[in-house]
Structures are given as C-alpha cells and as structure tokens.
Chains A and B, each alone.
Chain A
C-alpha cells in the first residue's frame, strides 16, 4: 500500500513543472534613442584599476530591431573630454567592466553611446568615479566564518586526540566481515588476495587502503592464512611490506612473514588488471580485498573475483567505481566510510582527530539545514541568502 502511494506521488511529480508561454513584444520604433540613466562605480571587491559602467537599455534596443548594433563606451579624464572609446558591448547588454589602463586614485568620466549603423545616440556624461583596490572581499564573510569554524574544530580535535583522549567511532559493517572472510579462506586452505588500487602513495585513498591492509594482515597472521598483495607501484610495494611485516611482528608471528607476500606487477593500468585476472583464475583465492584508489579496472577485477566465487570486500572513495563494487562485491566501504576505516584501524591520533572535527562540521551543517528549511519555509527571513558567496 505504501509503495502504491509512493508510486502515485512519484508520477504526480513527473507531471509538475511545464514551461510557461512567451510574451510578445510591441512593434519597433524608427528613431534611435540613447540609453537612459547611466552610472559608473568602482568595481567592488577587486584589486583596483577597474570600474563598472551600467545603464538602462535604450528604448530602441529590442530584438526586432536587427540593425541595432550595441553600445560603445567612451571615457575621459575630465567632463569636457576628450572622450575616447574604451570598448563596446553587443545589443541587450547593460554593463561594461572597464579595466583598460586605469590608474587607482585618478578621476574618470563616462558616456554610453547606442549605435545603429552610422547613427549614434550618446547618454549623459557620468562621473567622476575613482578606481580603488579593497582589502577585504565583503561578499565572502560567510566563507571566512566557515573556514575559521571548521579549521578550529579540526585543529582542536587533532590536539585532543594527540593528548591521548579517546575518540568514539561507530561500527563499520565491512570491517566486521574481515574475520569471517579470513576464517573462511583458512578453512578452505586457499589464498587471500589484497589489492590496494592502482594509484601511488600520493593518493589519500592508497594510504587508507594500506591502513586496512595492516588490519587484514593481523588477522591472517593469527589465523595462519596465506596473504598475497600484488601492487602496481614500487612505492606502494615498499609501504605495504613495512605494514604487513609490522602486523606479523605485532601478533607474534614474525617467522610467517616473508617479503614475497607483497610483490610488484606493473604500473600499467590494464596490464595490472590482466595480470591479476591471471592470478585469480590460476590460484582461485577464497577472499579478495579491493581497498584503495580504483578506476576503470575495478570492473574487470571485481568481475573475475566474482566468477571464481571469492568473498569480496571492497572499499574506495572513487564515486564512479562505487556502483560497480556495490553490485559485484559482498561488502563495500563507501567513500568516507573507507577513509574512516583506514583512520580507525591505523589508530593514528591526528587522523582520528581530524575525522572527529569533520564529523562536527557535518553536525553543524545538519543543524543549519534543519533550522534553515524551517525558517525559509515560514518566510520570516531569507536564510538561504546567508549561504550566497560572491
């Protein structure tokens, strides 16, 4: 029943929002009229040497008047002239930004001339106006506040965590499945494959993937399962070896670790995918972790893992690849979840702290959204305008 209602609602919405009809304009007048009420002001919030001229369109400037050519903008340093052309604009524009060889502090006068063929119709002279630079962009106060509040929160919590205060993070489903997946591989006596993506160590996603590798390696070492980590970057290989070794040491199985567990295949995207395809088909690993920065190869990898019947736990923040992981893998860490998992597992206080800061930022945004929508709907105050950045 609820579904039927929802469907009806959805269909109803599909009908909404048809375009309106167009108004027609009155017939054209023959004589050329000048633009009315021109003004010139200093360009606000800029680095100076720039002025803005605005005018009300000439009554002759209409779509039907095809001969109407547009406006010419004249400038002089005194009201008596001489006036020199500094630019032109097409018909139906009412603003010109002049930044041609202006000096900050000097006085300028302007005239806007409507043109139709040879005919000219100049506006009154406006001025004086003086270009100047500003020290603060007044249209961006809201962004400044946002930067300060967010930075403050993040820095505060980094310090907080660094002093060893505990930080709570919720459970993440994909991580709880690690034990089960490793256990299954051990029972079946098959390998576990960990694939950390195709990007180098400069990608935050690779770092998060390596942190997760640390946790997986701890589990494999206690279960006595076989772990293999084929990588596509030499730097990633170095980092992955360090991480796995450390995990095996920490659980008291340093003898089970050997460098060959982590090996380099190739830098080439599809070459890497093809090599992994071969490994999967030959060795039939029971569990595959796809944790890192993936691109188009994600599909090839996940498909092959699926074809050999492996349990797959994926994680990435690459939005275009997430759908494929969700559709092919048993568990997927989505976007931020993936980062949190990395920080959570690495227990790195600075990572944890900044995550907490981010979370509070999100809480503030949520609160603003909830308050904002109520205020906006009641119409007492245009709350949304607080979020307009110039």
Chain B
C-alpha cells in the first residue's frame, strides 16, 4: 500500500481527535477577534433601536437544546437589549422546548447589571406565554386573536392578569417579532404569516444551516437575519453585550480552517492516487 493510499485510509478516529482539539484548545486562548458586521445582522439591531421605549416585542423561540449552542446567545442578547431599553418582551414558542430555553436565557439576562438596574417585572416587562402546537396555524390565528391562542401563560395563569397583555389582540399591538429559528416551524412561517399576511415586522435569529435561505427574504420580508454563532457574535457587538457568541469565534475559526485543510488534503491525496493508478493501468 502506498503512502497515498494509507493517507486516504487513515482511521477516522484520528480525524475526530483533531477536530476535538481544534475546537477545544482555542477555548483556553484569549485572543481578541475583530467581528465584521454584515448588513443582515445590522438590520436586526437597527430595527430594535428604532423602537420607542414601551413598545411590545415578541420573542418567538422555535428551537431546542440540540441547536441551542448557536442561537441561545442570541436569545440572551436580545433579552438583555430589550429589558435594558424598556422594550416589553412577550415570549412564546412553536417548539415546546423553545419557551424553556427562553427561561434559561432569562435567568442569564436578568443577571446583567444593565438589566438588573431596571429590575424588570414578570407580567409587566416580560411574560412567557409558553408553547403552542399547530405550527404555522398558530401564527395565522394570532393574526386575528392572540388571547384565543394563548389564554394562559406558560405557568397556567390567565393572561388577563398581566398588564403587558392589556389591549393585545393581534400583531397590531406588537412593534417587532424576533423569531429564533432552528428549522420548521420557524422563520419561513413567521415571514409568510406574521410578516406577509399581517404585516408585522419580523426579524430572525437562526442556525447557520437556515441562514442562506432566510437571507433571500432580506430586507423586505425580513428586517434582519442573525446567522449562526457568527450572527450571535455580531449581534453582541452591535448591542454592546459581549457574550458566548464572541467568545467562541476563535474556536469557530480554527474549526473552519481544519475542515478546509481536510478537504484540500483529501483531494490532493485522491487525485494523486487516481493519477498513479491510471498510469499503472496505462503501463500494464
């Protein structure tokens, strides 16, 4: 077996080990990374900045722990920004795990000094309406009657008890919808129903997998898109709340370089070995 063939036939576990090292080692390094901001990310931050204090925003959490690494930092930053700028946040989810992830994000956000200084109150400054099954049908229904879709919050209390829900009948009472999306149902449905049908301004924070598709809706159908952990880092930079997104950028860089090197090496070995085989066949 030639060196090339052996190179191609290397045990996968070595590759696994290299990848683990590439993402783990940078976690120990403290290197300042300059975050280049894309216009899609800027779109989300600008839309938030344009909202007057007291406006209601919906944070729709359509993701689960499986993809939380990418989008949880966005939820945290979004909450920090809103609660420190007197924007009232209505949390909900079309994925059952979404509102629970939002609760985790809330715990983090409420610890931030800028948020803690304002001492936001449940039911007044923010509320968690919980999960509702039915996918896009839920959004469609919210367009005409939010209280009918969410008669109670995630803890089973009637929403009539909460000042934040006063006069909220449909998207007309909501100044911005920020959807954190990890697939279906998610941003596509929010755009199609809340945005296109009921004209609510929609912004999206999403996994990198979905970002290329959602960019197509920008800027008219969606005001902004945060794509993956990089998007989270950009959002953190734009709002001035540094967090996990920024911290992980170095690992992300390393990981990408490693993958590219793998592809290049693999291809070199593949083509050299193929050429050698052809030559051998030609000689024979």
Q: Which residues of A contact B (CB under 8 A)?
A: 17, 47, 70, 87-88, 90-93, 97, 99-100, 319-320, 389-390
User: How close is B81's CB to chain A, nearest CB, in angstroms?
Assistant: 17
A219, B209: Cα distance in complex, Å? 37
Contact A320/B209 with A93-B52, A97-B172 known, Cβ cut-off 8 Å: yes
Contact of B52 with A92 in the complex, beta carbons under 8 Å: yes
Known: A17-B39, A70-B54, A90-B52. 17 other contacts (CB 8 A): A47-B144, A87-B167, A90-B54, A90-B55, A90-B175, A91-B52, A91-B53, A93-B52, A97-B170, A97-B172, A99-B169, A99-B170, A99-B172, A100-B169, A320-B210, A389-B196, A390-B199
Chain A residues positioned under 8 Å from B170 (CB to CB): 97, 99
Residue B117, interface by CB 8 Å = no
Say whether B53 contacts A90, CB under 8 Å. yes
Encoded as 1 (CB less than 8 Å from any A CB) or 0, chain B from 152 to 170 comes to: 0000000000000001011
Say whether B213 faces chain A, with CB atoms less than 8 Å apart: yes
- Which of B167, B170, B175 has the largest number of chain A CB atoms within 10 A? B167
In the assembly, what is the distance between CA of A72 and CA of B222, in Å? 30
Bound-state Cα–Cα, A362 to B21, Å: 49
B202 nearest CB across to chain A (Å): 15
Instruction: Determine the residue in chain A with the shortest Cβ distance to B210.
Output: A320
State the main secondary structure of chain B at its contact with A.
Answer: loop
**In the assembled complex, which residues on chain B have CB atoms less than 8 Å from the CB atom of A93?**
52
Size bin of chain B's contact surface: 10 to 19
* Residue of B with least CB distance to A87: B167
Residues of B within 8 A of A100 (CB): 167, 169
Q: What residue in chain A is nearest B51 (Cβ atoms)? A: A90
Q: Once the chains are docked, how many angstroms separate the CA of A389 from the CA of B191? A: 13
Shortest distance between the CB of A181 and any CB in chain B (Å)? 19
Contacting residues of chain B (168-199) with chain A, CB-CB under 8 angstroms: 169-170, 172, 175, 196, 199
What's the Cα separation between A291 and B24 when bound, in Å? Answer: 37
- The 8 A CB mask of B36-54 against A (1 = contact, 0 = none) is 0001000000000000111
Q: Complex Cα distance A211/B54, Å?
A: 57
- Nearest CB of A to B176, in Å: 12
The docked-state distance in angstroms from the alpha carbon of A90 to that of B52 is 7
Shortest beta-carbon distance, A97 to chain B, in Å? Answer: 4
A-B contact pairs, 7 of them (CB 8 A): A17-B39, A87-B167, A88-B167, A90-B53, A97-B170, A100-B167, A389-B196
Which residues of B have CB within 8 Å of A97?
A: 170, 172
Chain B neighbourhood of A17, CB < 8 A = 39
A70 / chain B contacts, CB cutoff of 8 Å: 52, 54
Q: Complex Cα distance A158/B52, Å?
A: 54
Q: Which residue of A lies closest to B39 (CB)?
A: A17
Smallest beta-carbon distance B37→chain A, Å: 11
Query: Closest residue to B86 on the A side, CB-wise?
Result: A90
Write the chain A residue with the least CB distance to B9. Answer: A307
Query: Chain A residues near B54 (CB, 8 Å)?
Result: 70, 90-91
Q: Roughly how many angstroms separate A99 CA and B171 CA in the complex, as a whole number? A: 12
Q: Quick check: B52 and A319 within 8 Å, CB to CB?
A: no
Q: How far is the CB of B61 from chain A (nearest CB, A)?
A: 21
Q: What is the CA–CA distance of A93 and B39 in the complex, to the nearest angstrom? A: 26
B52 contact set on A, CB distance < 8 A: 70, 90-93
- In the bound complex, how far is the Cα of B114 from the Cα of A381, in angstroms? 51
Tell me the minimal C-beta distance from B70 to chain A in angstroms: 14
Q: Which residues on B sit within 8 Å (CB–CB) of A87? A: 167
- Kindly list the 10 A-B residue pairs having the minimum CB-CB distance in the complex, ordered from nearest: A90-B54, A97-B172, A90-B52, A87-B167, A91-B52, A92-B52, A90-B55, A99-B169, A320-B209, A70-B54
CB of B173, distance to nearest CB on chain A (Å): 8
Bound: A181/B210 CA distance, A:
34
CA A320 to CA B213, docked complex, whole Å: 10
In the complex, residue of chain A having the shortest beta-carbon distance to the beta carbon of B166:
A87
A87→B213 CA distance, assembly (Å): 39
Residues of A within 8 A of B144 (CB): 47
Distance in angstroms between the alpha carbons of A390 and B196 in the assembled complex: 7
| Residue of A whose beta carbon sits closest to that of B55 | A90
Taking the closest CB of chain B, its distance from the CB of A65, in whole angstroms, is: 11
B53 nearest in chain A by CB position: A90
Q: Is the CB of B172 within 8 A of A319?
A: no
Q: Give A17's nearest chain B residue, CB to CB.
A: B39
CB contacts (< 8 Å) of B53 on chain A: these are 90-91
Q: Complex formed: what's the CA distance from A99 to B39 in Å? A: 37
A63–chain B nearest beta-carbon distance, Å: 9
Chain A residues with CB under 8 Å of B199's CB are 390
How close is A379's CB to chain B, nearest CB, in angstroms? 20
Shortest distance from the beta carbon of B166 to any chain A beta carbon, whole Å: 8
| B54 (CB) vs chain A CBs: closest residue | A90
In contact, A319 and B213 (Cβ under 8 angstroms): yes
Q: A88 — which chain B residues lie within 8 A by C-beta? A: 167
- Contact residues of B between 191 and 242, Cβ < 8 Å to A: 196, 199, 209-210, 213
| Assembly CA distance A90 to B170 (angstroms) | 17
Smallest beta-carbon distance B49→chain A, Å: 11
Q: How far is the CA of A389 from the CA of B55 in the complex (A)?
A: 27
Q: Smallest distance from the beta carbon of A294 to chain B beta carbons, Å? A: 14
Q: Give B88's nearest chain A residue, CB to CB.
A: A90
Chain B residue numbers with a CB within 8 Å of A47 are 144
Residue among B52, B170, B196 with the most chain A CB within 10 A? Answer: B52
CB closest residue in chain B, given A390: B199
In the complex, chain A residues whose CB is within 8 Å of the CB of B39: 17
Chain B residues within an 8 Å CB radius of A90: 52-55, 175
Q: Closest residue to A73 on the B side, CB-wise? A: B167
